[in-house]
Amino acid sequence: MNRCFIALALAMSAAQPTLAQTLTSSVNAMPKLPSGHAKIAAHATTGSLHGTVRREDGFSALGMQVSIRNADGVVHEVLTAGKDGEFSDSSLKPGVYEVAASSSGAPQLNAVQVAVVAGHDAVASVLVQSSTPAAPEPAAAPKLDNGFMHRLGRAYVADWAGNGPGTETKEARRGYPAPLASPPYPASDWPIGGTPTIGVPDGQTYPLMEALNKNKSRSKIYGWLEVGANGSSNNKTNAGKGIASNFPSAYDEYANTVQLDQAALYFEKLPNTAQTDHVEIGYRLTLLYGVDYRFTTAKGMLSQQLLLKNNQYGFDPVMDYVDIYVPHVGKGMDIRIGRYISLPDIEAQLAPNNYTYSHSILYTFDCYTQTGMNVTVKASDHWTVQAGISPGCDVMPWTTDAKLTGNFCATYTWSHGGDAVNTCANSINDGKYAYNNLSAFYETYYHRFSATWHTDTEFWYQYMREVPNMYWFNGTDPNTGIQYAPTAAHPWPEATFQRPGQGAVNLNFGAVCTDPRKPANLQPSRCLAPEYALVNYVEHNFWHNTASLNIRNEFMNDMKGQRTGTPAVFEEHMVGFDFWAGSTITFRPEVSYTHAFTRYGVSGLNIAPGASISNLETLAQEAATGQALTPNPLGLGKNQAITLSADLIWHF
């Protein structure tokens, strides 16, 4: 409904007279006209009316209906207001009329009278108001608490609801489209180490950065907390004494425990490799605390925590490097200088970068980190080549184990990014025995079946030359001059005095060069220690990319026991899942079966790493000569194990 208020151009009496009185008074009140005009008016028999309709709410009055009724209540005419609300009637008999405006079909209210005089034009301005009182303005919403913890909490709630903030990228992705969805996978591109993925803009967001500055800066601080637990058929475990009886399974190596695997903190600025205009510099510093420090530790970098004390928990600055991106070499070149993750592999040390909580045996025993320089050139959408130098695997350049080491890798991608193969010689030097001085050669194949299925397969062969035989060296304590003897702590001679004044050298990474039951005089002092391994992942994502099925099958042949401590062929089969809440909480349960096919009657599971050969079950050194058997000081080991494990990752 509408109420119409008419402001008349003609003066009207304040009282409401009858129509006849109004007409008489209006005519008598007309001013005297000049004689010429009086003649024209005297001959006129009609008058006119025009005006404007205006709406109080500011909207256009176009299309509103204007009705004009005579003194008898008969509608003389119904007009339609124009685009500016204008209306007019040029042929009205003298008299008093009701003028009202309304929306189409709405009742007309408060009709106002206007007198029309022959030969004259009456003007009216119509103001249309709402028929109901305007609703009161809503009360202002209370201001949100904008403290840091409240901003952080709102960032998590938005992420879990699927409304997490995005980071706009100025440049579009260059090259092939991403083959995978992330989450639930660690990344949307096939893994490549030693470089950022050239051509891909950084669109990652983090709750901590949202709370700090709404993800507006390129420099970022983020990280995660990872807690893991497992129940295993391996039962000889004492984490405080470093007995990781799930070994050679890794990252869940302490049986039947709950542990803090990783507390990680990143300081990072990724170079913008999507742009092609200018050189850009990025950096990354990663600080890691937890059980998993034992896998990332490099000799010479806080390594006494592991190599001297064998602590269950430790700290490691696992990455510390600078990236220099040069856009005009090929389709982009990156130069990385510092300490970085080794180039090849499907898996990576940092928890969110993996399909599963546990790691493959293949991954556990190859190179972890390198410190040096690596150059990556994206030659085309198909080819990426890499070359670098370092002091070797998992050693710092100031240690006596450091050796000038080269690496060369090449990746070929096809099927619009759906397939890729990576070939890598990761450690090129003399291959002689030193701390983790592995000559290693890799082949990795990635294949995308569909939007929800893909597979990854990796093979490596590696070796070390002139490896000390643990059953030939009988170490001597330099402080006492007493030869080491088999004890519960040192079941077999695993150390030797080689550097006067510096103590014994730990030979846990020595080899079992031949049958350990032979006496020492029939043992070679050193030998070539090779090993090879193969792993396959089959991956399926479901629930709208919030979960994935992970299947892993592998085998590893540690021919001389140099990597695991046990000469054996290991097989492992794992089935697990990833479940994501937004992009900030990950839960990864899994079950695995491990079998060690050992040589010489030894056992390979449920034992301390590096002391595997001590578990000779019913055998002892010199048993081959018919001498009396020596009791096994650590008890019997196992060759089969089932482990149920899971971890929870909270990202910030």
Contact (Cβ atoms closer than 8 angstroms) between residue 532 and residue 461: yes
Contact (Cβ atoms closer than 8 angstroms) between residue 351 and residue 260: no
Per-residue pLDDT, averaged over 369-397, amounts to 98
Grade residue 7 by pLDDT with cuts at 50, 70 and 90: very low
Is the peptide bond prior to 248 cis by the omega test (within 30 degrees of 0)? Answer: yes
**pLDDT of 106 above 60:** no
**pLDDT of 221 above 80:** yes
CA distance 420 to 179: 10
- The candidate with the shortest Cα–Cα distance to 70, out of 40, 47, 87, is 47
Per-residue pLDDT, averaged over 18-33, amounts to 39
pLDDT value at residue 618: 39
**pLDDT of 596 above 50:** yes
Pairing of strands 405-414, 419-428: antiparallel
**pLDDT of 115 above 70:** yes
pLDDT value at residue 18: 42
Could you tell me which residue, 16 or 405, shows the higher pLDDT? 405
Contact (Cβ atoms closer than 8 angstroms) between residue 598 and residue 619: no
Distances, alpha carbon 519 to alpha carbons 472, 508, 629, in Å: 8, 19, 13
CA distance 621 to 610: 17
Contact (Cβ atoms closer than 8 angstroms) between residue 127 and residue 5: yes
Per-residue pLDDT, averaged over 613-628, amounts to 42
Q: What are the tokens at 348? A: 């990576």
CA distance 270 to 202: 7
- Measured distance between the N- and C-terminal CA atoms of the chain, rounded to whole angstroms: 57
Highest mean pLDDT: which range of 139-153, 464-478, 540-554: 540-554
CA distance 401 to 382: 37
**pLDDT of 104 above 60:** no
* Strand stretches in 353-507, DSSP E: 369-378, 383-390, 405-414, 419-428, 439-448, 453-468, 495-497, 504-506
For 574-591, b/e burial (b = at least 16 CB within 10 A) is: bbbbbbbebbbbbebbbe
Contact (Cβ atoms closer than 8 angstroms) between residue 3 and residue 80: no
Grade residue 636 by pLDDT with cuts at 50, 70 and 90: low
Per-residue pLDDT, averaged over 588-608, amounts to 83
- The candidate with the shortest Cα–Cα distance to 553, out of 577, 569, 576, 537, is 537
Contact (Cβ atoms closer than 8 angstroms) between residue 297 and residue 308: no
Q: 48: helix, coil or strand?
A: strand
Least confident of 5-9, 487-491, 640-644: 5-9
pTM score of the predicted model: 0.73
**pLDDT of 203 above 80:** yes
CA distance 623 to 629: 6
**pLDDT of 584 above 80:** yes
pLDDT value at residue 228: 98
**pLDDT of 488 above 50:** no
- The candidate with the shortest Cα–Cα distance to 380, out of 199, 182, 638, is 199
- Quick one: how far is CA 277 from the chain centroid? 27
Per-residue pLDDT, averaged over 462-486, amounts to 68
Q: What are the tokens at 632? A: 């096994």
Question: What percent of the chain has pLDDT above 70?
Answer: 76
Could you tell me which residue, 461 or 242, shows the higher pLDDT? 461
Rg (CA), the chain: 43
Least confident of 4-13, 125-134, 467-476: 4-13
Q: What are the tokens at 637? A: 């080991």
Sign of the four-CA dihedral 25, 30, 31, 34: negative
Q: What are the tokens at 613? A: 């050969």
* Cβ neighbours, 10 Å, residue 554: 21
pLDDT value at residue 246: 86
Q: If phi over 0 gives left and psi between -120 and 50 gives alpha, with beta otherwise, what is residue 193?
A: beta
Question: What percent of the chain has pLDDT above 90?
Answer: 52
Owner of token pair 């039947």? 256
Could you tell me which residue, 500 or 309, shows the higher pLDDT? 309
Contact (Cβ atoms closer than 8 angstroms) between residue 484 and residue 474: yes
Q: What average pLDDT does the structure give for the chain? A: 81
Owner of token pair 């301005």? 125
Distances, alpha carbon 25 to alpha carbons 17, 95, 328, 387, 579, in Å: 10, 11, 93, 107, 89
pLDDT tens digits, 126-171: 777 655 555 566 666 677 778 999 999 999 999 999 877 666 677 8
Tell me the sheet residues that pair with 388.
374, 407
Pairing of strands 504-506, 280-290: unpaired
* Order of strands across the sheet that contains 112-116: 75-80, 65-69, 95-102, 112-116
Grade residue 41 by pLDDT with cuts at 50, 70 and 90: very low
Contact (Cβ atoms closer than 8 angstroms) between residue 372 and residue 386: no
Could you tell me which residue, 250 or 485, shows the higher pLDDT? 250
Per-residue pLDDT, averaged over 291-313, amounts to 92
Q: What are the tokens at 307? A: 């190599």
Could you tell me which residue, 439 or 493, shows the higher pLDDT? 439
Per-residue pLDDT, averaged over 520-530, amounts to 85
pLDDT value at residue 19: 36
Least confident of 19-28, 92-101, 137-146, 443-452: 19-28
Contact (Cβ atoms closer than 8 angstroms) between residue 55 and residue 84: no
pLDDT value at residue 87: 81
pLDDT value at residue 521: 72
Going by the DSSP 8-state scheme, the letter that residue 301 receives in this structure is S
* Strand stretches in 416-567, DSSP E: 419-428, 439-448, 453-468, 495-497, 504-506, 526-542, 547-558
**pLDDT of 516 above 90:** no
Grade residue 625 by pLDDT with cuts at 50, 70 and 90: very low
CA distance 588 to 224: 15
**pLDDT of 635 above 80:** no
Per-residue pLDDT, averaged over 275-303, amounts to 97
pLDDT value at residue 47: 82
Question: Which domains are delineated in the chain?
Answer: 2-130 (2.60.40.1120), 207-470+507-651 (2.40.160.10), 475-506 (no CATH)
Q: 248: helix, coil or strand?
A: coil
CA distance 564 to 48: 108
CA distance 421 to 527: 33
pLDDT value at residue 612: 40
Q: How many residues does the chain have?
A: 652
**pLDDT of 107 above 90:** no
Least confident of 212-226, 392-406, 517-531: 517-531
pLDDT value at residue 520: 66
3-state SS, one letter per residue, for 257-286 = CEEEEEEEEEEEECCCCCCCCCCEEEEEEE
Beta carbons within 8 Å of 365's beta carbon, 6+ residues apart: 248, 531, 533, 556, 558, 563, 564
pLDDT value at residue 111: 67
CA distance 293 to 278: 37
Per-residue pLDDT, averaged over 335-339, amounts to 99
DSSP-derived secondary structure for 91-112: EE-SEEEEEEEE-TTPPEES-E
